[in-house]
Each structure stands twice: as structure tokens, then as C-alpha cells.
Amino acid sequence: MTKTPSQNAVDKLIGVVHPSEALKRQKARMALHQLRRFDGAGGGRRTDGWTSATSSSADAVNGPDLAKMRDRSRDLTRNSPYASRAVSTICSNTVGTGILPRISSRRSKVRQSRITDLFNEWATDPSQIDWESRNDFYGLQNLVLRTVVESGECLIRRRTVLDNETIPLRLQILEPDFLDTGRDGAIATGHIKQGIEFNREGQRVAYWVFETHPGDSSISSISGLGKSNRIDAKEILHVYRQERPGASRGIPWSHSVIIKLRDFEDYSDAQLLKQKISACFAGFVVEPESPDAALEGDLIESLEPGLLEVLPPGKDIKFANPPSTAEYEKFTRSILLQIASGYGITYESLTSDLSATNFSSARLGWLEFYRNIETWRWQMLIPQFLTPTWKWFKNAAEIGGVPVGDVKIEWTPPRRELIDPSTEIEATIKQVRAGLLSLPKALRQFGYDPEEIMAEIGESNDRLDALKLILDSDPRQTAHNGATQKAESSEDSSTEESQIN
């Protein structure tokens, strides 16, 4: 009978262990298991204190700590300049001035134009779109993302208003504190988990939402304080970055660096305080050891430029040696690199420190950061907030008596700033000319609406033709090198004729 490699390994180990046959086999298998195991799953002094690693579900891990992490994240954003900078950097690069819609219809251009105008009118009027009448659609985008980054998640509630509204729809932005996490457990139709109701198949069917923010508990006159209502899931958008399958809630994006941020702020304050204290001591007067040796005479207590002081016999002055800050910058950079990584941004965008940056490093850093930005846009903000809001808008338009039909929407992110415009634009032109990139796609990459740009170019060209003007920037008239297209064509034709003759 042929033995397997594992059996041969066991037999070899049996020969070097305990003489008892049963103990031999047991210890051999244990030794073989030690040879096969992962170091990361091993024991010993290096992992004795590692008690936080569990097999719990995402909700079991996140649930008890969400409120505390959320409060600490907000406190850091309020008081730490780097936490505040990280949140604003993510929002300004991901949303910026707003992710723009492009509405299209294959069947009716008239309907496309009408719905576009209707959407723009609704989206740019805070009194029509915002429940609090404070922000337009693009300001709400920034507010939602900021809440997600700082608090981990954001709720958007659909509010239907039928009083003299062409589009009877408003959006109410709610912090995650509005979820009644006290409602938790099994019910007849399924279960409730941290304020979110699920059916027996594990699908969301409702949210239990407080009527007022629970943080307003100090104002006893607020009606409905502490009361939560069941809101159908179709009336709520729940936006968050899902990091594990089955995670019902989102966690603050600073979760992996909360302690580092706090310790770094304490360290910076301690360094500053140490320098302030050391600066208070210019020098120290050394008295003689014997009191009898001290002579009369007062010493000055402050210094000024050009001062000469004659010391009494037996007295001396020793100047203070302030603590060095040579290692502070190196240590600070190391910590801030970790903080930037925890948020998913670059060190340069977190600190605005470009002293060690050249074009290549700036370009590589931006490309890596841009991948994160695109992920946040297309895998979270657009599918969880913008596209569902568009569906709400279409439904509201139908209620308002405006048929939408086959109208569809595409989203164009804001224009990104170019690091080297001359190089990057030239590369884009080559991609378009080679067929590797379409012109509309290239325009969207720069944050422009292709339909709007092409319409403006068409109007501009018609105007130039009517006035019989030829500009160097008109590719219909001039080549890339500045020569006129017609002149080149006539020269080419004359050359061809001479060759034929």
C-alpha cells in the first residue's frame, strides 16, 4: 500500500517523539499541524494581547461602537485641523461644485429639453428641493458626502409637498442619529436591527426614524422628542460605504486612525507647551554655596539688546538650553502619512506640503487618489443617492402632470484640475484621434457636458462663418500647425497634378 506524503511526514515525526505509540501519533500530528499553519494564526508573546480578533458579523462588531466612534469622529473634525482638512478634501474632490446630470431621450428632443429645463429649475432652487430651503441639489451632494465621511452614513427622506409645486418633491437630509437603534430584535414579519426593519428574506422594508434629533434632549419643549415612526424603505435613501457583506450600517471613515489623530493632537500640544515653557527661561542665577559669601547687589531680571551687567562676586549666570525640535518634523510626517492613508487621500492633499513633490510624484499620487474618488462616486454616491433621487424626480413629475416617458440620465463629475495641461491635453487629443477615446467621453473626463459643449461649438462656428472670420482655434479652417486647411488642400492638389504631368 502506497503512503501519501502526509503519512510519510507523520511516520518521520513519530520516530523522534515520545516512545508511547498513542502519544507518538498525537504529538506527530500536532507537530505537522505547526508546520502547516499560518504565522498570523499562531500563538506566542507577539499575539498574546491580540484579543480583538473575532468571527463576529459586521453588524455585531459595528453596532455597539457606532455611536461612540461617530461622536469621536465629529469631535476630531471640529478640533483637529487635519481631520477637518481630510473631510473637506474628500468632499471637494469627489463632489466639488456638483456632479452634473445629462438628460437624454431617443424619441423626443422636445421632451428631453422640457425635462432638462424642469429638472434644472427644481435642482437649482433650494426652496423647491431642500426640506430646509438651504441648499440646491449640488449643495446637498456635498452635505450628504460630508455626513457619510464624518458620521459613517447619511439618510435622505423623501418629502412629498402638493401645495402649488410643479415637482412635489423635497429632500430631507438626516444624520444617522435619527435611527432608533433601541428598536432591535425579532418581530412577526422578520426582525429589526439597529433601527432598520428587515423581512424574513433579509431585505430592508422600513426604517424607524425619530421625529427630532435625539441630541436635542436638553430642549424639553420639543414635541415628539424620543418618539420614532416607521418609515417605508422606499421613502428613505441610506448612503454609506459598505466595507463588509451584510453590513447594515456605515462607520466613520476615520475609524482606523481615530486614536492616532487624538494622540497626535496631544503630542503636538505637548511639544508646543514645552517650547513655550522653555522660552520663558532665558537663564538661571547661580548663588554661592555659602550664604555668607553672597554680597549685596541686585541682578537684573530681564534682558535687552546691548546690555552689559557686572555680576557681584560669588554669583554666576547659566543660560537655559531649550529642547531640540529636530525630530519633530520627521515624526510628524510619519504620523500624517498614516492618517492620510486611513482616510484614503494623499499626504500632500492632507497637509498642503509640496516641499518634497515633483511632477512625477504629484502625478502618481493624484492618480492613486483619483481611483479612490472614482470609487466613491460610482460605487456609493451615484448609485445610492443621485440615481434614486432621479427616480423620485420622475415619479414626482408624473404626479405633477408632466409625462417623462423614455427620458434617461447620465452623470458627469466635476472638472478635474490638470497638473500639466500642455502634456495631458496633448495626450487626450492623441487618444481621441487614435480612436482609443471618444470625444464625449474625453469631455466628461474634464467635467463638461458633451451636449452643451457641442451645441456651443456649433453656434460659435455658425457665427464665425456668418461673419467670414477664420481663427487659429478653428480646426475646420486651420491645421494643428496653424496653416489653413484650404491652402494645404490646394497645395496638395497642385503637387499631385504636377506629378501626374
pLDDT in tens, 154-171: 999 999 988 767 899 999
pLDDT at 65 over 70: yes
Cβ contacts of 280-289, under 8 Å, gap ≥ 24: 281/320, 282/319, 282/320, 283/317, 283/318, 283/319, 283/320, 284/317, 284/318, 284/319, 284/320, 285/315, 285/316, 285/317, 286/315, 286/316, 286/317, 286/318, 287/314, 287/315, 288/314, 288/315
The three-state DSSP-derived secondary structure of 247-266 is: CCCCCCCCCCCHHHHHHHHH
In terms of pLDDT, which residue wins out, 180 or 277? 180
Predicted confidence band of residue 248 (pLDDT cuts 50, 70, 90): very high
- pLDDT tens per residue, range 418-428: 777 777 788 88
Residue 371 reports pLDDT greater than 50: yes
Q: 33 and 177 in one domain?
A: no
Q: Tell which residue, 272, 267, 254, 251, has the closest CA to residue 335.
A: 267
Q: What is the pLDDT of residue 500?
A: 46
The pLDDT of residue 2: 56
Q: Report pLDDT for 119.
A: 95
Read off the pLDDT band of 501 (50, 70, 90). very low
SS3 content of the chain, % helix, strand, coil (to 5): 50, 10, 40
Band the pLDDT of 459: cuts 50, 70, 90. Answer: confident
* Confidence (pLDDT) at 315: 67
Looking at per-residue pLDDT, the higher value among 107 and 254 belongs to: 254
User: What's the mean pLDDT when you consider all of the chain?
Assistant: 82
Question: Does the pLDDT value for residue 18 go beyond 90?
Answer: no
Give residue 117's domain range. 65-276+367-414
Q: What is the arithmetic mean of pLDDT over 341-361? A: 88
Cα–Cα distance, 13 to 134 (Å, whole number): 75
DSSP state of 162: -
pLDDT at residue 489 in the model: 47
Nearest Cα to 193, choosing from 70, 74, 58?
58
Per-residue pLDDT tens over the stretch 293-314: 545 556 556 656 655 566 666 6
- One domain, residues 241 and 382: yes
Asked if residue 34 is part of any domain, the answer here is: yes
In a domain, 147, yes or no: yes
Whether pLDDT at 27 is above 60? yes
Band of pLDDT at residue 387, cut at 50, 70 and 90: very high
Residues 32 and 104 in one domain: no
Strands (E), 161-215: 170-174, 185-187, 190-193, 196-199, 204-210
The HSE-up count of residue 333 (CA atoms within 13 Å, CB side) is 10
In this prediction, residue 19 carries a pLDDT of 54
CA angle 98, 99, 101 (to 5 degrees): 125
- Please say whether the beta carbons of 371 and 345 come within 8 A: no
pLDDT of residue 390: 96
pLDDT of 316 over the 50 cut: yes
Does residue 171 sit in the same domain as residue 231?
yes
Residue 53 has pLDDT above 90, yes or no: no
Closest Cα to residue 198, out of 248, 251, 154, 250? 248
Q: By C-alpha distance, which of 268, 270, 287 is closest to 278?
A: 270
Check whether residue 113 and residue 179 sit in a common domain. yes
Average pLDDT, stretch 389-412? 91
Judgement on whether residues 21 and 107 belong to the same structural domain of the protein: no
**Are residues 2 and 113 located together in one domain of the fold?**
no
What pLDDT, in 10s, does the model give residues 180-196?
999 999 999 999 999 99
* Mean pLDDT for the stretch of residues 489-497: 48
Average pLDDT, integer, range 198-203: 94
Per-residue pLDDT at 464 exceeds 90: no
Question: Does some domain include residue 127?
Answer: yes
Within a domain: residue 103? Answer: yes
Half-sphere exposure of 269 (CA within 13 A, CB side): 9
Last-in-domain residue among 388, 414, 440 = 414
The position carrying cell 525630530 is 327
Same domain (yes/no): 10, 72:
no
Closest to 421 measured CA to CA, from 347, 491, 363, 486: 363
384, part of any domain: yes
Residue 416 has pLDDT above 80, yes or no: no
In a domain, residue 354? The reply is no
Total domains, the chain: 2
Residue 37 confidence class, pLDDT cut points 50, 70, 90:
low
Q: Are residues 121 and 25 located together in one domain of the fold?
A: no
Both 260 and 133 in one domain: the answer is yes
pLDDT of 493 reads 46
The one-letter code for the residue type at 455 is: A
Inform me whether the pLDDT recorded for 379 exceeds 50: yes
- Asked if residue 264 lies in contact with residue 338, where contact means CB atoms within 8 angstroms, the answer is no
Distance between start and end Cα atoms, the chain:
93
With respect to residue 293, please indicate whether it lies within any of the assigned structural domains: no
- The confidence score (pLDDT) of residue 22 equals 73
Most confident of the following: 22-31, 339-348, 427-436:
339-348
Whether 174 and 100 map to the same domain: the answer is yes
Domain-embedded: residue 332: no
High-pLDDT (> 70) share of the chain, % = 78
Question: Is 78 found in the same domain as 24?
Answer: no
| Phi, then psi, of 193 in degrees rounded to 5 | -125, 110
pTM: 0.77
